Structure 1
Amino acid sequence: MRFKYLKYLAFALGGLSTVVAAGALYLYATFDGSRLSAELTHFAKQRYQRTLRMEGPVELSMFPRLRLGLPASTLSGRSGSGEFIGFEQASISVRLMPLLTRRVVVEEVEIAGLRMALLRDKAGKLNAADLLGQDGDTPSSSGNEPFDLDVGSLRIERGAVTWMDERDGRQLALSGLSVETGRLGPAADGRLRATTRLTRAEPATDVHVELDGTYRLGEPDGRLRLRQLKVAAQGDFAGWQALDGEAALSELEWADTGPSPIQGVSFEIRGKAAGDAFELRANAPRLTLTTAGPEAESVEASLRLDGKLRGGSVRLRLNGLVPADGGLKGSKLTSELDLRLASGRVVGALAGPLRWQAASRQLELPGLAGDVSFTPARSGARPLKFATEADTRVDLQRSSAAGRFALRSEAQQVKGSWTLPRIDSTAIGFDIDVNRLDADTLLASRPANNPAADKTEDRIDLSALRGLDVDGTIRIGHLTAAGLKLEQVKLPISVHGGRLVSSGHSLSLYGGTLDGSLSVAAGDGKASYRGYLQNADLGALLKDAGVRQKVSGTTNFFVEVNSSAESRSSLLRDMQGLARLRIRNSSVPGIDINQAIAEWRSALGSRQGARRPHRDREATAVGELTASFRIENGVARSSDLKADSHMLRVSGTGDLDLARRQIDYLTKVMFVVVPVLPDSGPLASLRGVALPIRVKGPFGAPDWHLEPRNVPLAAMVNAGQGVARSLPRVNPKTVIQAVGRAVKKATPAADKPAEVAAPE
């Protein structure tokens, strides 16, 4: 009986094989590739209102498997608008047995030279919505689908995909796309590998991407499981250079309904931004995706910068992330800062809640608070500690960010706001108000053990301007800098392309005002300044600036210069430009001209030169003083110095060597009124005579030199005669009488005995 059943089974299998073979031969004999191409074209037109063009018939081969070969084809967009998808060639391997029941079960798909153009219009509608069953106008399925999705493997080579978003104005492209999968179907396990090149015109992006992981499809609960998924990327992205990034997750269970847990999410990116190296890391031990949004107990992230001008780290930790009001909220976001900037070091910690508005795509940090300290970059500078409050808003829909902040210390209050017009750029705007700032105290250094460490470097480092894209205004109520007391300071700042411009800055000082414009370029080290100081008390200004000489007067000063800002010495040595000076109610320190002329009477009579050193306690009132200067290579030359008072008229020409701090000025001093003094008679002849007096020496204490060689001879003779006449006349008779009276007074009287002096 057993052999009888085996014989029946063999006959049955043989008959089935005969039927299958006959069916395959019949299919091959009756297959019409041209008719199938026409039917597919008709189906695309009737079902999806798209035009399918196939450059030839569909081919059928039987060995080694039943295979349909598709020629180069294109499928248009909806209603024939442009090309949506195309390929150079494709092949589909199908199973034979389902074909006998008029079903097509795909076993393997291979596509070469794939092209796909994805578009989202201004209304947010995708141009593939009808193919994905997301278009309400698409007819419902009739149940006689031409394909049954059970693909043994999918392989794509030399693919290219473009994406255009008309709503956001963004576009990108994937080229060199290569995809290889395992089985795609019910209860399918497989491995996914993909590589591509991502490019974008604005901002400039060129990134090579690789993806690798395993998956499981068609679980009884309808979940998709991804395990050990890794994504690696290298290239340039939106201004970041030499990126090397990797993202990974241990396991993802994706469900159409219900929560989708993700285990072990992390990513790490290394690269360069504006020439500075950075490293960004983030991880979440467990993240759950729900229909309302993601949930996580904690998410951590860190950013580390390593550049010449700025560096340090920022650490973030978010606790209690849950969905709320159509968005997300975090109970507490903690940030730890340790940043090294060109101006100094910032250390501190801030904490506050977090909110995410999904509808408007806005991230809000409404109440960050904590303590922050700032230590200036100058060696030995004292740190400043501030109680800090801040609000931040990031608008991803407009790709912008903005915020406000307030800093409070024992002596200072700082309030301000900032904006990022575009998150993917380095541009920043700001507006800052400071009630009081003592820059001298801020930059003061502690005593150093090595005296050489206290010496300020001559070089001016402008490298901090590179990489900045800044526009803003700083206002300071009271500012102390270099000993000067300034008020109502308004300082507009603009930095672009390594060039600092402060156009229209203004301030009040010592009863006057200063308005000016500054420009400094890091590229060539050139600097220019134009400023106008009006009605300032020169004496008080110079006193606070540390000038010892007692100078008085109300000054107006205009300057327009340019120079090299590579070093402090070159700033003065290479200066070019012009300047004008006017001082009212002025005095010249270091000399009392009346006293000097009195001391020089004999030199005037003999037409000899004389020198008089600078004397700190002396000064000469000159009324109003004016002069203009032409500055070349750090030397200010003037030929129109004038000073007038009720007694004097002064004119002069000379040089001011700004780099060496030396003065060489030849002045001509003329007495309009001779002062009434006990010995001023001899000076009467100098009325109207211009006396040459040269001022020469260091700025702080120049010498005064009388140079009378060019004075008219008659004036000198009269001055000499005046000196001779001023000496007392000698009368011989008067001298003899005075001597006789003295002798008589000393002789003793005759009726009195002479007193004998006791011996000593």
Structure 2
Amino acid sequence: MGVWIRRVLIGLVGLVVLVVIAGAVFVASFDANKYKGVAIDWMKTHKQRTLVIDGPIELSIFPRLAMKVSKVTLSEAAKADNFAAIDSAGLAVDVLPLLHGEVVVGRIEAKGVRVTYLRDAKGKSNIDDLLTPDEAPKTETASKPVRFDVSGIELADVKATVRDDKSGTNGQVLLAKFKSGRLANRVEAPVDLDLQFDFKQPALKGNLTGETRLTLDMDTQSASLKKMNLGFKGDAPGLSGVDVALKGDVAWDGTKKSVNAQDLSVKLSGHTGALKHDGTTLSIERFAFEPDAQKLDLRKLVAAVKASQAGQPITLDLEWPELAVAGKSLSGSAFSGKLSRGGDMPLSAKFKSTAPSGSFDAVNLPGFEAQVESASPQRKLAGTLRSDLVIKPQPGSLALDKLDLQAKVEEPGLQPLALNIRGNALASAQKSSWNIAGQLNDNKFATEGSAVLAGNTPQINAKANFDSLDLNKLLTKEKTPNKPAAGNADVPVDLSGLRAVNAQVSVVAGRFAFEQYKVNDARIQATLDGGMLRITELQGKAWGGQLNATAFADARASRIAIKGAATGVDVNALVKDVAAKDWIEGNGRVSFDLDSAGRSVNELRSRLQGSAALQLRDGAVKGINLAKSLRQAKAALSMKQDASQKASQTEKTDFSELSASFQINDGVARSKDLDMKSPFLRLGGEGAIDVGKGRIDYVARATVASTAKGQDGAELAALKGLTIPVRLTGPFEALDWKIEWSAIATQAATKQLEDKLSEKLGLKPAAGAASGAASKPTAADALKKGLKGLFK
């Protein structure tokens, strides 16, 4: 028996030796490069992709099945474009665990990898064919679950280009370095990474570096990061030029959909919106959030914001020792903090709450109070804000119930303001809203609306109603209204602020005042979308009449347009307010349809287009008294010289009716239909008003209509029936009036001769002759008498 046992053992040993020798010979003689063609053909046949392997294939079998490849490229499906390229890559798998249905990867290495991911708007991507497995013969043999176990990963220079039209993602991510220890289920592994982002959409460009210890739980799809020491430098949506340092422990539970953080700290420098941070910090001893179980646990939250805005320092300190919520049960402590802003107009505030109550659905912080103070030579402010705060973790919102704000503001040169507001407000990541009412001094107001701050441009819908809105009492005057710029200095016009927000706004004010403009029963309806402001309703009572208009402004083209009419207005008050000129008096209608584009006031004036018209009654044109000037007709006609005079505000020419229309092109308004009437004069005319250059060149043609009444009528008999040119020229600030007597001297002499001849012929009664039917001569007597007179 022992002999047979010995023989069997000898045979087994010999068999093992033979297998080892055969394996050694197989490994030594195996050439994996002979199978390149098989892989290339398979990829071409099954995936319609072109696989190129320009480098050698290295293969080892025991104790690990290991393979290395280099200089590999793979095309897009049915295209010659490159989908992926690899400079070098290696993979090693332990052989013995494979016999038990387990995968134990010894290492994964890759360097110089380039891959492109594309997805269209319908969701079709360029990797769909690679993710779809080929059909395999069905087998009823149950397979064991694969055990994930990788002893190490080392990646360098791995770049992915992503263009996803469905999600709007477009950019590149470069994994400059990724090195890990053993990655296996529920095994903690060290990780060291250097990840770079360069995305156009979303706007993300920067570098994430650092180290942590990663644990994966494949059974629950969970992960945890311990001893994080990560940093990000760059730009992200809402962030620019930031340097963020993150430390602590964070865990995600895939089964509970919960987050758990321990000893978490964040330090931030750089810009967030309009704030520039310089060492802002946030620390949390513990934070746990489990929405399905309605649990929230917060311990020792401390925030310290150190920032500046427009060069003004801003600090915020907040402490919240404890908050614990579990369903309907809630306990915790009050929070407190302070806020300050420095600069020429400093501001300080202290705030606090009482102990919280409520439940997971609504955490109540009653009795919130903030005391605000500001003291500077420019402004003094003191106020108190009280409200009940309600925090709703889902969907994540903050409500201010029973809001009560009382404040007093004092500024030099302005009436002291007392503000009293009551109402409610709600703020969340998706949408904010408000509904408040109050008083500003003795003036009541109410406003309601909503704001969506998510996305690239905030969206605001708001309504407001004021008994009286006097902005002159609210805004500090920086300059005198309508005061011209010194010399030829131009004033820039910047409409870029219209791009900052999209809005629908409705404003009603019983009385409205801004600088020199005063409007009663004012109503404004406006929309703002993509930098385009459309005022669909602009009406009110102004200048003693009614204003109705619409307006448009486009920030992209720097264009402004306004169309409307002012009816029954005092035109003198209107022109003084709008143009700061005192040229004309009267009441009536002014209509306008104006359009211009430019980035300065002078440019807007020089590009003005459109039309305007006015119809007035019972007024006067200021600058000249035509009746007074025409009294000098006899002397002026004899000398045949034009008479010039500077416009004077003490002189004016009355009219009973006046109308004119203007066509405006490139800043020049031209008129051909002036029609002005008075008891003794009729005026027509034409000319141009150059708005861009601030000059006038206009010729009025005056005709004496009656000499019996009106201003100095008896002195105008010699001009009755004549048309006298009156030229108005010069800059707006120094107009010249010129009566062109030389143009009518011959006309006047001819008229005098005709009048004398008619008188001699008896066709016209002599001056001072009695009138009446009894003294009227016959035609024959008149002719006889006239001829006699001619030949004396």
Q: How far did residue 205 of structure 1 move?
A: 3.9
Equivalent position amino acid for 2:539 in 1: L
SS, match of residue 721 in structure 2: coil
- What 5-or-longer segments of structure 2 have no aligned partner? 1-12, 32-50, 73-83, 132-140, 328-358, 769-792
SS, match of residue 331 in structure 1: strand
Query: Which residue of 672, 676, 695 maps to 1:639?
Result: 672
Q: Is the 8 A contact 1:337 1:349 kept in 2?
A: yes
Q: State the partner residue of 2:392.
A: 356
Query: Which residue of 448, 454, 471 maps to 1:423?
Result: 454
Say yes or no: does 1:475 pair with 2:477.
no
Say yes or no: does 1:686 pair with 2:688.
no
Say yes or no: does 1:300 pair with 2:334.
no
Q: State the partner residue of 2:598.
A: 564
* Residues 92-118 of structure 1, C-alpha deviations (whole Å, 9 max, x = no match): 46497x89x958684733254699999
Q: Is the 8 A contact 1:392 1:404 kept in 2?
A: yes
- CA gap of 1:531–1:565, structure 2 versus 1, over 3 A, is farther
The answer to which structure has the higher strand fraction is: 2
Equivalent position amino acid for 2:247 in 1: L
Say yes or no: does 1:266 pair with 2:266.
yes
Equivalent position amino acid for 1:263 in 2: D
TM-score, structure 1 as length reference: 0.63
Instruction: Tell me, in whole angstroms, the C-alpha distance in 1 between the residues paired with 2:700 and 2:574.
Output: 25
Q: How far did residue 601 of structure 1 move?
A: 5.5
Instruction: Tell me, in whole angstroms, the C-alpha distance in 2 between the residues paired with 1:469 and 1:147.
Output: 54
Instruction: Tell me, in whole angstroms, the C-alpha distance in 2 between the residues paired with 1:253 and 1:534.
Output: 71
- CA gap of 1:271–1:23, structure 2 versus 1, over 3 A, is farther
Q: How far did residue 231 of structure 1 move?
A: 2.6
- CA gap of 1:368–1:26, structure 2 versus 1, over 3 A, is farther
* Residues 111-149 of structure 1, C-alpha deviations (whole Å, 9 max, x = no match): 546999999xx9xxxx9xxx9xxxxxxxxx999655485
Structure with the bigger RCO (C-alpha within 8 Å, sep 6+) is 1
Which is worse superposed, 545-554 or 328-337?
328-337
- CA gap of 1:234–1:328, structure 2 versus 1, over 3 A, is farther
Q: Is the 8 A contact 1:465 1:495 kept in 2?
A: no
Alignment of 1:658-697 (within 5 A): 658=691, 661-676=694-709, 680-681=713-714, 683-696=716-729
TM-score, structure 2 as length reference: 0.61
- CA gap of 1:504–1:355, structure 2 versus 1, over 3 A, is same
Say yes or no: does 1:67 pair with 2:64.
yes
Instruction: Tell me, in whole angstroms, the C-alpha distance in 2 between the residues paired with 1:649 and 1:718.
Output: 23
Say yes or no: does 1:196 pair with 2:195.
yes
Equivalent position amino acid for 1:108 in 2: G
Q: How far did residue 552 of structure 1 move?
A: 1.6
Q: State the partner residue of 1:465.
A: 497
Q: Is the 8 A contact 2:223 2:252 kept in 1?
A: yes
Q: Is the 8 A contact 2:363 2:390 kept in 1?
A: yes
SS, match of residue 676 in structure 1: coil
SS, match of residue 445 in structure 1: coil
Query: Which residue of 416, 431, 438 maps to 1:401?
Result: 431
Q: Is the 8 A contact 1:192 1:213 kept in 2?
A: yes
Aligned-residue sequence identity (percent) comes to 17
Q: How far did residue 313 of structure 1 move?
A: 5.4
- CA gap of 1:29–1:547, structure 2 versus 1, over 3 A, is closer
Q: State the partner residue of 2:689.
A: 656
Equivalent position amino acid for 1:353 in 2: L
Say yes or no: does 1:445 pair with 2:447.
no
Say yes or no: does 1:628 pair with 2:626.
no
Q: State the partner residue of 1:740.
A: none
- CA gap of 1:607–1:191, structure 2 versus 1, over 3 A, is same
- CA gap of 1:356–1:600, structure 2 versus 1, over 3 A, is same
* Residues 477-497 of structure 1, C-alpha deviations (whole Å, 9 max, x = no match): 23223422224242525364x
Q: Is the 8 A contact 1:668 1:691 kept in 2?
A: yes
Q: State the partner residue of 1:737.
A: none
Q: Is the 8 A contact 1:227 1:251 kept in 2?
A: yes
Q: Is the 8 A contact 1:95 1:104 kept in 2?
A: no
Q: Is the 8 A contact 1:373 1:383 kept in 2?
A: no
- CA gap of 1:430–1:269, structure 2 versus 1, over 3 A, is farther
- CA gap of 1:373–1:627, structure 2 versus 1, over 3 A, is farther
Q: State the partner residue of 1:136.
A: none
Q: How far did residue 635 of structure 1 move?
A: 4.5
Q: State the partner residue of 2:107.
A: 109
* Residues 187-241 of structure 1, C-alpha deviations (whole Å, 9 max, x = no match): 96642223334566743545443341246899xxxx9875430233344434755
* Residues 682-717 of structure 1, C-alpha deviations (whole Å, 9 max, x = no match): 534533322333445665785654332315214467
Say yes or no: does 1:484 pair with 2:517.
yes
Give the RMSD, CA atoms, in angstroms.
Answer: 6.3
Equivalent position amino acid for 1:507 in 2: Q
SS, match of residue 572 in structure 1: helix
SS, match of residue 585 in structure 2: coil
Alignment of 1:718-757 (within 5 A): none
Instruction: Tell me, in whole angstroms, the C-alpha distance in 2 between the residues paired with 1:467 and 1:279.
Output: 29
Say yes or no: does 1:579 pair with 2:612.
yes
Query: Which residue of 523, 535, 539 maps to 1:507?
Result: 539
SS, match of residue 415 in structure 1: strand
Instruction: Tell me, in whole angstroms, the C-alpha distance in 1 between the residues paired with 2:380 and 2:171.
Output: 39
Q: Is the 8 A contact 2:384 2:407 kept in 1?
A: no
Instruction: Tell me, in whole angstroms, the C-alpha distance in 1 between the residues paired with 2:535 and 2:613.
Output: 21
Equivalent position amino acid for 1:403 in 2: S
* Residues 528-572 of structure 1, C-alpha deviations (whole Å, 9 max, x = no match): 5555444433244346666556712212232424253424x4443
Instruction: Tell me, in whole angstroms, the C-alpha distance in 2 between the residues paired with 1:430 and 1:349.
Output: 27
Q: How far did residue 425 of structure 1 move?
A: 1.0
Which is worse superposed, 103-112 or 533-542?
103-112
Q: State the partner residue of 1:248.
A: 246
Which is worse superposed, 695-704 or 619-628?
695-704
Q: Is the 8 A contact 1:686 1:715 kept in 2?
A: no
- CA gap of 1:330–1:286, structure 2 versus 1, over 3 A, is farther
Instruction: Tell me, in whole angstroms, the C-alpha distance in 1 between the residues paired with 2:689 and 2:409.
Output: 39
Instruction: Tell me, in whole angstroms, the C-alpha distance in 2 between the residues paired with 1:198 and 1:678.
Output: 85
Q: How far did residue 296 of structure 1 move?
A: 1.9
- What 5-or-longer segments of structure 1 have no aligned partner? 1-17, 35-53, 74-84, 132-140, 727-760
Instruction: Tell me, in whole angstroms, the C-alpha distance in 2 between the residues paired with 1:334 and 1:28.
Output: 82
Q: Is the 8 A contact 2:235 2:242 kept in 1?
A: no
Q: State the partner residue of 1:7.
A: none
Instruction: Tell me, in whole angstroms, the C-alpha distance in 2 between the residues paired with 1:177 and 1:623.
Output: 86
Q: How far did residue 640 of structure 1 move?
A: 2.6
- CA gap of 1:165–1:594, structure 2 versus 1, over 3 A, is closer
Instruction: Tell me, in whole angstroms, the C-alpha distance in 2 between the residues paired with 1:334 and 1:456.
Output: 53
Equivalent position amino acid for 1:262 in 2: Q
SS, match of residue 586 in structure 2: coil
Q: Is the 8 A contact 1:94 1:104 kept in 2?
A: no
Q: Is the 8 A contact 1:561 1:578 kept in 2?
A: no
- CA gap of 1:348–1:428, structure 2 versus 1, over 3 A, is farther
Q: Is the 8 A contact 1:204 1:236 kept in 2?
A: yes
Equivalent position amino acid for 1:492 in 2: A
Equivalent position amino acid for 2:716 in 1: L
- CA gap of 1:412–1:700, structure 2 versus 1, over 3 A, is farther
Count how many residue pairs are aligned between Structure 1 and Structure 2: 639
Q: How far did residue 386 of structure 1 move?
A: 5.1
Q: How far did residue 153 of structure 1 move?
A: 3.5
Q: Is the 8 A contact 2:195 2:208 kept in 1?
A: yes
- CA gap of 1:500–1:91, structure 2 versus 1, over 3 A, is closer
* Residues 133-172 of structure 1, C-alpha deviations (whole Å, 9 max, x = no match): xxxxxxxx999655485x5444455667899999988799
Q: Is the 8 A contact 1:163 1:173 kept in 2?
A: yes
Q: Is the 8 A contact 1:315 1:337 kept in 2?
A: no
Instruction: Tell me, in whole angstroms, the C-alpha distance in 2 between the residues paired with 1:678 and 1:566.
Output: 45
